[in-house]
């Protein structure tokens, strides 16, 4: 089976009584989640949340169905890909059926596919919400990622004790077990201890380079260049924009197909108001992955922020045939048309947006309604 996260722990980390897994959701909660997914049928997060209810109730097949629907609606929904990587973790019937049909090789192939979903989640969002991992393995290592009852602080403190014990003996994070560096780094990032997370990921990157050179296999599910990508995102979150840009550029030098590094880099350039560089990165992302049509909406938003509304309209019109069911298209188009002074056309776009937009998009819905009232 998958064992996506390991502490590699001769670390004497006292993982004793972890938080109890919540009981299966009662019928009323399940029905409410199903009703929300029906009402907001174009909201990928509604389908993701329904999947979590089903996963907690051990309805593995229907949970996976909901997750696959979520990623069809939004191929860049990282939390749904992470959940897909572990949704069958405890489904013994599923794995046994695979073994009966194709032997151990079939199980190994499926495990590789699921690990690919895990890696995709971190490609899409290096700081993806890792809570779902606790549902996959609630009594084992997954308990590290259970944030019920006060966030990740309890589990961070537990892992940090192991980290401190080892650092006392080893003297340097570079000598730490890679699995411990990964778990401690992720928990540090998700408890806003960014300097500590950066230290962990930098040490992990060095360790993985050595492992690669020696021809060994690491228990960490990400490759060295993918860890570099996570490290870039941590620097970005910490406001270290120059370090983030340099790391994203190195990521791209090692993997020309990593279009999300271009997306992330564009965001950094926008923060720095370096619009020509941001637009160059947005266009390069589209060239690298032309199948992700939402990248055109990203480009249009950057053009709008850069004061190039007419160019933004052209991009949206060009992408419209592939984005007709994406509510975000109509919201951004409305803002673009509004900026161009074509308020009646903008109102039409906002009306369409309001027809399809998920209820959780409260701020955007309020903005659209206010503009319609002002036209």
Identify the pLDDT of residue 137: 60
Question: Do both 40 and 130 map to the same domain?
Answer: yes
Q: Are 353 and 338 in contact (CB under 8 A)?
A: no
Identify the pLDDT of residue 131: 84
Q: Judge whether 297 lies within some domain.
A: no
Domain with residue 261: its CATH number is: 1.25.40.10
| Domain final position from 238, 260, 279 | 238
Q: What is the mean pLDDT of residues 152-160?
A: 86
Quote the mean pLDDT of the chain. Answer: 88
Question: Do both 128 and 47 map to the same domain?
Answer: yes
| Domain final position from 238, 264, 282 | 238
Question: Do both 42 and 131 map to the same domain?
Answer: yes
Per-residue pLDDT tens for 179-235?
889 989 999 999 999 999 999 999 999 999 988 888 887 778 889 999 999 999 999
Question: Do both 224 and 164 map to the same domain?
Answer: yes
Q: What is the mean pLDDT of residues 295-319?
A: 97
Cα distances from 282 to residues 221, 227, 270, in angstroms, run: 28, 22, 11
Cα distances from 29 to residues 24, 36, 57, 67, 100, in angstroms, run: 10, 11, 11, 18, 36
Total domains present in the chain = 4
Per-residue pLDDT tens for 25-53?
467 888 898 999 999 998 999 999 999 99
Identify the pLDDT of residue 63: 96
Q: Judge whether 10 lies within some domain.
A: no
Question: Do both 168 and 157 map to the same domain?
Answer: yes
Q: Judge whether 5 lies within some domain.
A: no
Identify the pLDDT of residue 1: 33
The count of other CB atoms within 10 Å of the CB of residue 275 is 16
Question: Do both 84 and 180 map to the same domain?
Answer: no
Question: Do both 52 and 133 map to the same domain?
Answer: yes
Question: Do both 233 and 284 map to the same domain?
Answer: no
Question: Do both 175 and 133 map to the same domain?
Answer: no
Q: Are 197 and 189 in contact (CB under 8 A)?
A: yes
Q: Judge whether 272 lies within some domain.
A: yes
Listed residue (277, 274, 321, 315) closest to 297, CA to CA: 315
Identify the pLDDT of residue 18: 35
Identify the pLDDT of residue 220: 84
Residues of the chain with pLDDT > 90, as a percent, come to 71
pLDDT at residue 20 tops 70: no
Identify the pLDDT of residue 125: 95
pLDDT at residue 144 tops 80: no
The total number of residues written for the chain in this structure? 375
Identify the pLDDT of residue 147: 52
Residue 69 contacts by C-beta under 8 Å, 6 or more apart in sequence? 44, 47
Which domain range does residue 362 map to?
A: 313-375
Q: What is the mean pLDDT of residues 267-275?
A: 97
| Domain final position from 137, 152, 172 | 137
* Side-chain-side CA neighbours of residue 32 (13 Å): 6
Per-residue pLDDT tens for 322-339?
999 899 999 999 999 999
Question: Do both 288 and 330 map to the same domain?
Answer: no
Identify the pLDDT of residue 13: 35
Q: Judge whether 306 lies within some domain.
A: no
pLDDT at residue 21 tops 60: no
Identify the pLDDT of residue 225: 95
Q: What is the mean pLDDT of residues 241-257?
A: 96
Q: Judge whether 12 lies within some domain.
A: no
Q: Judge whether 7 lies within some domain.
A: no
Q: Judge whether 22 lies within some domain.
A: no
How far is the C-alpha of 140 from the C-alpha of 121, rounded, in Å?
A: 22
Identify the pLDDT of residue 143: 53
Structure tokens at 10: 């001769």
Say if pTM beats, i.e. exceeds, 0.75.
yes
Question: Do both 36 and 124 map to the same domain?
Answer: yes
Name the least confident of 62-76, 134-148, 260-274, 301-315.
134-148
Question: Do both 356 and 281 map to the same domain?
Answer: no
Q: Are 67 and 47 in contact (CB under 8 A)?
A: yes
């Amino acid at each position: 089976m998958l064992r996506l996260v390991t502490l590699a722990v001769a670390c004497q980390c006292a993982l004793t009584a972890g938080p109890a897994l919540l009981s299966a959701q009662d019928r009323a909660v399940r029905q409410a989640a199903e009703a929300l997914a029906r009402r907001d049928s174009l909201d990928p997060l509604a389908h993701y949340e329904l999947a979590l209810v089903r996963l907690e109730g051990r309805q593995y097949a229907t949970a996976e169905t909901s997750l696959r629907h979520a990623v069809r609606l939004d191929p860049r929904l990282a939390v749904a890909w992470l959940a897909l990587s572990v949704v069958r973790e405890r489904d013994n019937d599923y794995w046994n059926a695979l073994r009966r049909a194709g032997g151990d090789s079939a199980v190994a192939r499926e495990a590789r596919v699921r690990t690919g979903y895990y890696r995709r989640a971190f490609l899409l969002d290096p700081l993806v919400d890792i809570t779902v991992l606790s549902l996959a393995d609630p009594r084992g290592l997954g308990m590290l990622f259970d944030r019920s009852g006060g966030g990740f602080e309890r589990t961070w403190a537990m892992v940090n004790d192991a980290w401190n014990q080892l650092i006392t003996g080893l003297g340097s994070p570079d000598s730490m077990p890679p699995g411990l560096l990964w778990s401690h780094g992720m928990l540090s990032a998700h408890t806003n201890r960014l300097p500590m997370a950066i230290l962990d990921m930098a040490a992990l990157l060095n360790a993985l380079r050595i492992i690669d050179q020696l021809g060994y296999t690491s228990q960490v599910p990400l490759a060295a260049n993918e860890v570099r990508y996570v490290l870039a995102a941590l620097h970005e979150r910490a406001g270290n924009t120059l370090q983030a840009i340099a790391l994203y550029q190195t990521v791209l030098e090692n993997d020309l197909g990593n279009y999300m590094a271009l997306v992330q880099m564009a965001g950094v350039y926008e923060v720095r108001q370096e619009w020509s560089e941001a637009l160059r990165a947005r266009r390069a992302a589209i060239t690298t992955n032309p199948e992700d049509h939402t990248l055109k909406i990203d480009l249009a938003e950057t053009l709008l922020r850069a004061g190039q509304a007419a160019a933004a309209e052209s991009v949206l019109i060009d992408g419209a045939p592939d984005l007709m069911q994406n509510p975000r298209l109509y919201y951004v188009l409305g803002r673009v048309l509004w900026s161009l002074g074509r308020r009646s056309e903008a109102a039409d776009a906002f009306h369409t947006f309001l027809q399809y937009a998920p209820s959780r998009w409260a701020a955007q819905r309020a903005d659209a309604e206010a503009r319609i009232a002002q036209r």
